[in-house]
């Protein structure tokens, strides 16, 4: 009696071109991912590199005893904005020019609005506008709020308000192109 031998095959046999295609695609994806992670880390480090120095400077030169947040505003010059509290638990904002090692303005006033209060006040005044962002800014030697939004005429607007909520005399409106 003769025994038939079954042809042997493996389910792991894949055409050679498919192996190389998968290997090359995987390598390219890995390299691209590594490159983007490296770029993000490098750019973010450049963006925040002076924040620690600004916080230390504010603690040494002002009444602030604790720093809550440090941000940068890039207007005519780079201004570091340090928010924190004093020994008496008063909130304060310090505007610093690190290039000149100079405090531009300090504000520990009670009538200053917070970002949330200013946003709410603005939303009540501009109901048909689409809010984008609010941040502290420094324009024309004055500490201000910068509110970014799209108005009822579909313009991209940068509007400025004093820290007590009063309108500042600067506003930029950019017409958006339909594409």
- Say whether 115-175 and 50-107 share the same fold: yes
More confident residue, 47 or 67: 67
The pLDDT score that the predictor gives to residue 108 is 85
Structure tokens at 104: 């531009």
Query: Contact 129/137 with Cβ under 8 angstroms?
Result: no
Structure tokens at 27: 């390598």
The pLDDT score that the predictor gives to residue 150 is 93
CATH 1.10.287 for domain 115-175: no
The pLDDT score that the predictor gives to residue 8 is 61
DSSP 86-128: ETT--EEEEEEETTTTEEEEEE--TTPPPHHHHHHHHHHH-TT
Query: Phi and psi at residue 119, in whole multiples of 5°?
Result: -60, -45
What whole-number distance in Å separates Cα of residue 113 and Cα of residue 22?
57
Q: How confident is the model at residue 35 (pLDDT cuts 50, 70, 90)?
A: very high
The position carrying tokens 């010059």 is 77
Strands (E) across the chain are located at 64-74, 78-86, 91-97, 102-107, 130-139, 142-150, 155-162, 167-175
Residues 77-123 pLDDT 10s: 899 999 999 888 888 999 999 999 999 999 887 778 889 999 999 99
Mean pLDDT of the chain: 88
The pLDDT score that the predictor gives to residue 173 is 87
Q: Which CATH class is domain 50-107?
A: alpha beta
Q: What percent of the chain has pLDDT over 70?
A: 92
The pLDDT score that the predictor gives to residue 160 is 93
b (16+ CB within 10 A) / e for 54-76: bbebbbeebbbeebeebebbeee
Domain borders along the chain are 16-49, 50-107, 115-175
Q: Across residues 128-138, what is the average pLDDT? A: 93
Residues 146-176 pLDDT 10s: 999 999 899 999 999 998 888 888 888 898 8
Name residue 146's beta-bridge partners: 135, 160
CA 16 to chain centre: 48
């Amino acid at each position: 009696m003769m025994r038939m031998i079954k042809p042997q095959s493996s389910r792991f046999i894949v055409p050679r071109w498919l192996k190389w295609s998968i290997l090359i695609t995987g390598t390219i994806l890995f390299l691209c991912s590594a490159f983007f992670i490296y770029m993000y880390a490098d750019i973010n480090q450049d963006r925040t590199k002076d924040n620690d120095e600004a916080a230390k400077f504010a603690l040494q030169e002002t009444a602030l005893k604790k720093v809550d947040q440090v941000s940068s505003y890039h207007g005519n010059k780079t201004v570091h904005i340090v928010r924190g509290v004093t020994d008496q638990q008063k909130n304060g904002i310090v505007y610093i020019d690190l290039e000149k090692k100079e405090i531009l303005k300090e504000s520990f006033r009670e009538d200053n609005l917070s970002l949330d209060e200013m946003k709410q006040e603005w939303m009540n005044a501009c109901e048909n506008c689409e809010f984008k962002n609010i941040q502290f800014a420094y324009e024309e030697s004055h500490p201000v709020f910068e509110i970014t939004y799209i108005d009822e005429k579909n313009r991209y607007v940068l509007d400025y308000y004093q820290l007590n909520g009063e309108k500042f005399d600067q506003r930029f409106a950019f017409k958006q192109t339909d594409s």
